[in-house]
Amino acid sequence: MKTALIQFTAGEDPEANLKTVRRMVRDAAEAGATFILTPEVSNILSVSRRHQQAVLHHEADDPFLSAIQADAAALDVWLLIGSLALKTGDADGRFANRSFLITPEGKIAARYDKIHMFDVEIDETESYRESAAYRPGGKAVVADTPFGKLGMTICYDMRFPHLYRKLAKAGATIITTPAAFSPVTGKAHWESLLRARAIENGVFVLAPAQCGQNGPTRATHGHSLVVSPWGEVLADGGDTPGITMVDLDLADVGRSRRRVPSLDHDREIEGP
């Protein structure tokens, strides 16, 4: 299955980001991709909650979402919007960080709200408080597709192996992990974590990523990654915008799991 990971640098303007994404989605489809994925918060990367409040929409009337749905239908492709920042109507004004799987008919097949919030202080110069702007989801999602069951996660979720285990046990053979990873943790952890999640569950991990300088005080790691169920890095998008194309052999899932059936050997453990 020809799969394309779109890597770009989202800024503060959803309309500009949409233009970039639409152009790259069209290029990927013209290059033969039938499944196209975009990074986390494809519609906006902003450190200002007030700005987000001014320019973001609810899911029901988001022009970014409807444009991408129309593109999926026009180009006859499956599309994963890594995530969109969306208004929720919550009293505290927090947004959802929501991933969408779109069918070649332009319909929403599944949606997933990021469960784990990136609230960390990496060092004196770098800290994040995602939960101040976003409300966490609480439900794991596996979607049925003609290319197998697809488990949905977002970015920081990759540090929580039990979520991936749950998705694999529910039948997922592909797990998507769109991201806007920090440059510091990216260098240290990005590839190791994604390869571990793929190996321990015998799944393809598809991780389309933001890259570059997103704003004066925000940068992202890039290196969109495709990992096979055996843990091989099939493609790495580097650190500049571009489309990473791979041809996935879905039978690799069965082959890997037969060689090392650790998913079947998983046991309930008592104690401590």
- By beta carbon distance, the residue nearest ligand KGT is 185
Least Å distance between CB 146 and ligand KGT? Answer: 30
- Contact stretch for ligand KGT (CB under 6 A) within 22-30, 69-77, 153-161, 235-243: 153-161
Position among 3, 69, 182, 224 found at the interface with ligand KGT (CB under 6 A): 182
Least distance (Å) between residue 200 CB and ligand KGT? 18
Give the nearer residue to ligand KGT in terms of CB position, either 69 or 97. Answer: 97
Q: Which residues are catalytic?
A: 40, 114, 155
Tell me which of 159, 169, 187, 255 binds ligand KGT, using CB under 6 A.
159
Contacts of 31 (CB under 8 A, 6+ apart): 2, 4, 243, 245
Count of residues binding ligand KGT (CB under 6 A)?
Answer: 16
Secondary structure in 3-state letters for the chain: CEEEEEEECCCCCHHHHHHHHHHHHHHHHHCCCCEEECCCCCCCCCCCHHHHHHHCCEHHHCHHHHHHHHHHHHHCCEEEEEEEEEECCCCCCCEEEEEEEECCCCCEEEEEECCCCCEEECCCCCEEEHHHHECCCCCCEEEEECCEEEEECCHHHHHCHHHHHHHHHCCCCEEECCECCCHHHHHHHHHHHHHHHHHHHCCEEEECEEEEEEECCEEEECCCEEECCCCCEEEECCCCCEEEEEECCCCHHHHHHHHCCHHHHCCCCCCC
Rule CB under 6 A: which of 29-88 touch ligand KGT? 40-41, 45, 85
Q: Is 180 in the site for ligand KGT (CB under 6 A)?
A: yes
Segment near ligand KGT (CB under 6 A); pick from 142-150, 166-174, 179-187, 237-245 = 179-187
Candidate list 5, 37, 142, 155; residue touching ligand KGT; CB under 6 A: 155
Residue 177 and residue 238 in contact, taking contact as beta carbons nearer than 8 Å = no
Burial class (CB in 10 A: 0-12, 13-18, 19+), 166: middle
Q: Residue 130 interacts with ligand KGT (CB under 6 A)?
A: yes
Residue type (1 letter), 153:
T
Q: What minimum distance in Å lies between the beta carbon of 30 and ligand KGT?
A: 29
Amino acid at 240: T
**Binding region for ligand KGT (CB under 6 A) out of 9-17, 160-168, 181-189, 239-247:** 181-189
118 makes contact with ligand KGT (CB under 6 A): yes
Shorter beta-carbon distance to ligand KGT: residue 13 or 130: 130
- If one asks whether residue 204 binds ligand KGT (CB under 6 A), the answer comes out as no
181 binds ligand KGT (CB under 6 A): yes
Report the interface residues with ligand KGT, using CB under 6 A. Answer: 40-41, 45, 85, 97, 118, 128, 130, 155-156, 159, 180-182, 185, 189
